[in-house]
């Protein structure tokens, strides 16, 4: 917050001294983008903690997606998502259309999504299609449509979060 105030004051002084009629807000935004905009992190360079944080953030964004909630409003599902080589697992509960993220196992899952390696999981996120033999769907086939809806929204949200990994409070996730 103080950085913005200091930068604003220096830009306003600069405008008065040099007589330029530039909008200080536009200059501040362009300065912030130039100094803060990081390179998009590669999936394979994420730590376990970093991966968990961006996954959780993406699922929060999926829960806010009105189209997803309307498609799943009558659904109640407990699904377990696992990345075996990273020993990373989380539960996605869908209650009346609202996805909820929980670390680890919660209850008895009706569906289990399992990726053998983190690289396979992130390839599935990037391309939208799993590699042959790297992804296992365990559960009733009738849940596939629900999981596909949630996963597609999740993949889109995760790609967005990785471009700008910032939480609601403005704190960087990575």
What pLDDT does residue 86 have?
Answer: 85
Is residue 142 pLDDT above 70, yes or no?
yes
> Quick one: 9 and 54 in the same domain?
no
> Quick one: 31 and 53 in the same domain?
no
> Quick one: 23 and 92 in the same domain?
no
- Across the chain, where does the E strand assignment appear? 76-83, 88-95, 98-103, 111-115, 135-138
Question: Could you give the percent of the chain with pLDDT greater than 90?
Answer: 21
pLDDT digits (tens, 9 = 90+) for 25-71: 555 455 555 444 445 455 556 777 888 888 888 888 898 888 888 88
> Quick one: 97 and 145 in the same domain?
yes
Structural domain range at position 148: 43-163
Distance between CA atoms of residues 69 and 106, nearest Å? 21
> Quick one: 103 and 24 in the same domain?
no
What pLDDT does residue 67 have?
Answer: 87
> Quick one: 69 and 25 in the same domain?
no
Instruction: Give the model's confidence band at 123: pLDDT under 50 very low, under 70 low, under 90 confident, else very high.
Output: confident
> Quick one: 26 and 99 in the same domain?
no
> Quick one: 24 and 49 in the same domain?
no
Q: Mean pLDDT, to the nearest integer, of 120-143?
A: 88
CATH number at residue 82: 3.30.1050.10
- pTM value is 0.69
Cβ atoms within 10 A of the Cβ of 163, count?
11
What pLDDT does residue 156 have?
Answer: 92
Our count of domains for the chain comes to: 2
In a domain, 68, yes or no: yes
> Quick one: 29 and 85 in the same domain?
no
Cβ atoms within 10 A of the Cβ of 113, count?
23
> Quick one: 102 and 142 in the same domain?
yes
What pLDDT does residue 26 have?
Answer: 54
In a domain, 174, yes or no: no
What pLDDT does residue 8 have?
Answer: 63
Instruction: Give the model's confidence band at 99: pLDDT under 50 very low, under 70 low, under 90 confident, else very high.
Output: confident
> Quick one: 31 and 79 in the same domain?
no
Q: Is 153 helix (H, G, I), strand (E, B) or coil?
A: helix
> Quick one: 67 and 16 in the same domain?
no
What pLDDT does residue 133 have?
Answer: 84
pLDDT digits (tens, 9 = 90+) for 74-94: 899 999 999 998 888 999 999
């Amino acid at each position: 917050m103080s950085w913005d105030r200091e930068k604003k004051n220096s830009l306003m002084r600069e405008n008065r001294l040099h007589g330029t009629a530039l909008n200080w807000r536009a200059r501040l935004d362009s300065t912030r983008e130039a100094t803060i905009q990081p390179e998009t992190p590669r999936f394979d360079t994420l730590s376990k903690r970093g991966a968990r944080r961006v996954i959780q953030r993406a699922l929060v964004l999926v829960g806010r997606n009105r189209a997803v909630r309307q498609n799943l409003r009558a659904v109640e599902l407990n699904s377990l998502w696992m990345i075996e080589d990273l020993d990373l697992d989380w539960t996605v509960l869908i209650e009346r259309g609202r996805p909820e993220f929980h670390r680890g196992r919660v209850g008895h899952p009706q569906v289990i999504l399992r990726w053998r390696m983190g690289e396979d999981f992130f390839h599935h996120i990037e391309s939208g299609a799993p590699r042959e033999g790297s992804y296992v769907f365990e559960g009733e086939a009738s849940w596939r449509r629900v999981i596909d809806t949630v996963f597609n929204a999740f993949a889109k949200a995760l790609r967005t979060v990785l471009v700008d990994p910032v939480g609601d409070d403005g704190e960087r996730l990575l």
